[in-house]
């Protein structure tokens, strides 16, 4: 009888350990799930899983959207807008002003939407990045911006533009981006760098850039974001009142300042 009790005790102990292990697993799973946030976007009709709370929803636009009814945009729930101020040509390398820049800034702010600006870059040297920074700063000198100044650093769609064909190293591209960030910072603005998943993960040192600037991540191929960024451009085909055709839509996970 005494031996039987000992055997039962020996059998109970492993059982207790198993129950404890299962409880720990369920607790960890619960904490992981509750750390996620689910956000439904009325602009795509889809739900998105994010690692942080969505604090604001926005769009980014350029002359390609044509004239915009900004009051309708505001009424549709948009909190902020990034407006293209300028761009560098993918072949000639010449700098140009977006034809809708001034009108978009004025009308968006009049509608009560927070605004920021970006420049589409094709800089292949640090000097060109500083030139782009100076150019966009000259354009916004009379504007009361709400959001950081953005460098949109990406290869053109055909992958045949000057940035794509320059055959720069990851370190060289990163130095170019940081030159823009340093210039903007010295002028009293907060910098932000926009890049798609391919650019940020394969062609730039994103961690190093993140030490000096906020990062705006673009990825339309997944409805789940696993890493933390300042902004996530989650679609290029959103539908927003007041805008003809598709528009880029964004989630903001932090309160951004100029």
Residues 227 and 108 in one domain: yes
Q: How far apart are CA 185 and CA 183, in angstroms?
A: 5
- Indicate whether 258 belongs to any domain: no
111 against 8, higher pLDDT:
111
Q: Is the separation of the CB atoms in 21 and 213 below 8 Å?
A: no
Residues 6 and 125 in one domain: no
> Tell me, what CATH number does 191's domain have?
3.20.20.80
Residues 58 and 14 in one domain: no
- Indicate whether 45 belongs to any domain: yes
How confident is the model over 67-80, as a mean pLDDT?
98
Residues 155 and 193 in one domain: yes
Per-residue pLDDT reduced to its tens digit, 223-251: 999 999 999 999 999 999 999 999 999 99
Residues 195 and 93 in one domain: yes
Residues 71 and 114 in one domain: yes
Q: What is the pTM of this model?
A: 0.86
Structure token digits, residue 191: 């910098």
- Indicate whether 200 belongs to any domain: yes
Q: Is the separation of the CB atoms in 156 and 122 below 8 Å?
A: yes
Structural domain span for residue 117 = 36-252
CB neighbourhood size of 222 (10 A): 11
- Indicate whether 257 belongs to any domain: no
Residues 17 and 130 in one domain: no
Chain-centroid distance, C-alpha 74: 20
- Indicate whether 129 belongs to any domain: yes
Residues 97 and 25 in one domain: no
Question: Into how many domains does the chain fold?
Answer: 2
Per-residue pLDDT reduced to its tens digit, 151-196: 999 999 889 999 999 999 999 999 999 999 999 999 999 999 999 9
- Indicate whether 47 belongs to any domain: yes
């Amino acid at each position: 009888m005494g031996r039987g009790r000992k055997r039962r005790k020996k059998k109970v102990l492993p059982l207790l350990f198993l129950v404890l292990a299962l409880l720990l697993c369920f607790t960890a799973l619960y904490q992981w799930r509750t750390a996620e946030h689910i956000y439904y976007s009325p602009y795509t009709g889809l739900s998105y899983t994010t690692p942080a709370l969505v604090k604001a929803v926005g769009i980014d636009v350029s002359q390609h959207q044509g004239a915009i009814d900004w009051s309708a945009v505001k009424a549709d729930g948009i909190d902020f807008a990034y407006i293209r101020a300028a761009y560098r040509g993918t072949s000639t390398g010449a700098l140009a002003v977006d034809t809708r820049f001034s009108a978009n800034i004025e009308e968006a702010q009049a509608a009560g939407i927070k605004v920021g600006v970006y420049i589409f870059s094709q800089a292949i040297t640090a000097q060109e990045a500083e030139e782009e920074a100076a150019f966009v700063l000259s354009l916004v000198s009379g504007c009361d911006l709400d959001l950081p100044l953005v460098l949109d650093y990406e290869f053109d769609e055909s992958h045949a533009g000057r940035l794509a064909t320059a055959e720069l190293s990851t370190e060289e591209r990163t130095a170019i981006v940081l030159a823009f960030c340093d210039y903007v910072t010295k002028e009293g603005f907060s910098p932000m760098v926009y890049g798609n998943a391919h650019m940020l993960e394969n062609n730039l040192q994103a961690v190093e850039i993140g030490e000096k600037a906020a990062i705006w991540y673009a990825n339309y191929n997944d409805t789940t974001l696993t890493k933390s960024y300042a902004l996530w451009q989650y679609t290029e085909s959103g539908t927003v009142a007041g805008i003809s055709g598709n528009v880029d839509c964004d989630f903001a996970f932090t309160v951004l300042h100029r």
